Amino acid sequence: MTWAKELEELRRREALAEEMGGADKVARQHGRGKMDARARLAALVDPGSFREIGKIAGKASYDENGDLTGVLPAPFLFGKATINGRSVVATADDFTIRGGAADAGIGRKMVQAEKMANELRLPLVRMIDGTGGGGSVKTLEQIGATYIPAVTPWGAVVKNLETVPVVALALGPTAGLGAARIVASHYSVMVRGLSQIFAAGPAVVDAMGDAWKDGTANHEDAKEALGGSAIHTRNGVVDDEVASEAEAFARARHFLSFMPEYAGQAARRIETGDPADRREEALLSLVPRGEKDVYSMRRALEMVCDKGTVFEIGRNWGRACITALARLDGWPVMVLASDPSFLGGSWDAKTSEKVERWVKLADLFRLPIVHLVDNPGFMIGREAEVAGTIRYGVQAMNAVYKATVPLASVVMRRAYGIAGSAMSNADLYQYRYCWPSGDWGSLPIAGGLEVAYKSEIESAEDPAAELDAIRARLAKVTSPFRSAERFNVEDIIDPRDTRPLLCEFAELAWRKLSAG
């Protein structure tokens, strides 16, 4: 006697689960230009590596004899898989089943996925499409009562943010708990034109009295106007915007390649084939002599870091500071780099918020930080004051001072005021290099000459000539070599030596991190 009959039923139930919401619903999903949940899982992870957990969970129906007639699968899939050969927990919401509402199936699956990642110390990837675990209005009638909301898996969500790398991909319209699960991640991505995020959908917002005022003509336009990627990848809710689901999967895999599998484990060095002693001639003329002239900091990153390894994050928000993961002689590092092409590199509130977030991430997952500095200070003016820039700026500086991972800074041009001092923790050894183009101080001298020397200028026979003479004198005082004489800066270097010296820093930093 065997258990062949039971195995036959298991295979039947598995086949029913693979039908998801049914052929019509799956076709509708594909018709929207979206992959279904199972196709997404296959595209995200290493081929053949996904082992599904709880596949046959769902709402079964039986005939009068108690025999199975059908199964509505749970709208949430998860399992163990590998990405780049490393174990992960991969999850996907199934929009073909009641828009992914968890109360249409077994909500415990989502909880178990979060717990599995936390307890087994496995990176977690959430692919979110729909309410992503929230309820539905129709279910309330089926229950026969309303209920005070309680987000059952949230404790596990919070623990994961402190324990393992969490990636969230918004792959459709997401509201409520689905939106919250996207934000509660270390790295998030939206697909342009396909993904929207909102606390509540357009119909709910409209019903509550916030009618559309922008002339949108249909539901799809309304969703995009309310919460499209053009909004949320520019306000900091989501990190990056991509053109396709395939690109979202690629960015998720790439992000995880820099990360350890859990907090406390060392991230991996990868041989990149780029010599550590490479010197780029173009760095010598990168920074222009004109103090208001701009240059490409992204070009500097490509020349300094291992070729092809710069992985920029959050390009569309907090734009005065470029944040990226990269490699130096194969070692993974977190990079902060001023962008003089936006606000002159001045830190506004959003930039400060962005810096704080990525410094904290680097500290959590033990990645050394490299900071390329050209910062004229915090953004000034009424808008900056209304935005609370100084509060966000101080929080960013606090994150730098609280970080326990090694940090190296390269002052390429300006470093002024409190924002300039946030380049590194001055209470520790300053692993710092300065270019001959360096220009620093408590405030820009050029902006205060007329005030500081007002009486001398006004009393001079030729005020313009007197101002020029003062500028010439101060130009000598502000020479970076004067600072080096007093050891106010540690080293002034040939810009072409930047990469070799930063590769040396990366090796020493990882030596320290490996020793605990």
Tell me the mean pLDDT in the region 339-350.
Answer: 94
pLDDT category of residue 108 using cuts at 50, 70 and 90 = confident
Whole-number percent of the chain with pLDDT over 70: 86
Whole-number percent of the chain with pLDDT over 90: 67
In order of their start, the domains of the chain are: 4-258 (3.90.226.10), 281-514 (3.90.226.10)
pLDDT category of residue 232 using cuts at 50, 70 and 90 = very high
Coil/strand/helix, residue 24: helix
**Distances, alpha carbon 99 to alpha carbons 17, 102, 145, in Å:** 16, 9, 21
HSE-up (13 A, CA, CB side) for residue 229: 22
Q: Over the stretch 362-384, which tens digit does the pLDDT of each residue have? A: 999 999 999 999 999 888 889 99
Cα–Cα–Cα angle for 183, 407, 393, rounded to 5 degrees = 55
Residue 105 has a pLDDT of 47
Tell me the mean pLDDT in the region 206-224.
Answer: 56
Q: Is the pLDDT at 474 greater than 90, yes or no?
A: no
CB 310 within 8 A of CB 328: no
Q: In this structure, how many other beta carbons lie within 10 angstroms of the beta carbon of residue 11?
A: 10
Residue 488 has a pLDDT of 78
Task: Provide the whole-model pTM.
Answer: 0.89
